[in-house]
Structure 1
């Protein structure tokens, strides 16, 4: 990724987790923009730039909860990874589920990583900051193709 600022899409319906994620990114050293959708349908609309998200940027990274209203995280992941224009976007499953079945299914659907959200708020923020440092400082990410 050649640009210095990353567009990150957080797909999360829990306001507390959204707040903690915003706090963790705010404290980070990397310039980025955190976009939030609260369900799977809106997440896909954001990625496909449909409806109210017609002017949305292509996300450089997606943080995806599994337990979402309207369309769950597995369905979102499956659709993103089936689309040749979107499959290159790294999708990090960030969920409260520590179920082995959820873990295996997420990787079967080509998740790039699976993280279980820590219950402790300080540990949660540390996890997000470590994720940010790795994915946005060390890893080279492809840029989105024009759609």
Structure 2
């Protein structure tokens, strides 16, 4: 993703989160951020995969530029979502940041083994949570260069 692409349209972010408080804080932080974005929210792993694979109710969903994924989700957990994304040759290029309350080393290791691009533990303090989302936005959407063409051949 080039800076020209970023300025021409809002960045699509998929937030996979079942906690309404964390959804509200993420929305607040991204609204205060410097990158124009459209935040799409789903509450479980099944809906996340439907969104990403553009199936069922999400047939017209945009391909997100970034996924923020909780691990502890109903119906399908974050590990299962990561596993299916990693196996898909097109979707594996979408950066996925695990955003969870777990500080367990086994969760961190498993997420990276499943090709998560980052692992962040949610701060308890709402202001720290908002600051973390703003830093995440700045890094992943301003500094990091993301591919726009996943099939350069």
Asked whether the equivalents of residues 38 and 68 of structure 1 are also in contact (C-alpha less than 8 Å), the reply is yes
What does the per-residue CA deviation read over 1:18-72, in whole Å, with 9 as the maximum and x for residues that have no partner? 0000000000011011100000000000000001101100011000000000000
Asked whether the equivalents of residues 60 and 144 of structure 1 are also in contact (C-alpha less than 8 Å), the reply is no
In 2, the alpha carbon distance for the partners of 1:48 and 1:78 equals 14
In 2, the alpha carbon distance for the partners of 1:39 and 1:143 equals 27
Pair 1:145–1:48, CA change in 2 (3 A):
farther
Asked whether the equivalents of residues 93 and 150 of structure 2 are also in contact (C-alpha less than 8 Å), the reply is no
Asked whether the equivalents of residues 58 and 144 of structure 1 are also in contact (C-alpha less than 8 Å), the reply is no
In 1, the alpha carbon distance for the partners of 2:14 and 2:148 equals 15
Query: 1:102 maps to what in 2?
Result: 107
Moved beyond 2 Å, runs of 4+: 143-146
Say how many residue pairs are matched: 146
For the residue of structure 2 that corresponds to 1:87, the secondary structure is helix
Per the normalisation by structure 2, the TM-score is 0.93
Question: CA offset at residue 145 of structure 1?
Answer: 5.7
Query: 1:7 maps to what in 2?
Result: 12
**Counterpart check, 1:88 vs 2:93:** yes
Per the normalisation by structure 1, the TM-score is 0.96
In 2, the alpha carbon distance for the partners of 1:45 and 1:36 equals 12
2:127 to 119, 122, 143: 122
The answer for unaligned runs of 5 or more in structure 2 is: none
Question: CA offset at residue 85 of structure 1?
Answer: 1.1
**Counterpart check, 1:50 vs 2:41:** no
Q: Where do 1:66-85 residues align within 5 Å? A: 66-85=71-90
Q: Where do 1:18-37 residues align within 5 Å? A: 18-37=23-42
In 2, the alpha carbon distance for the partners of 1:74 and 1:142 equals 24
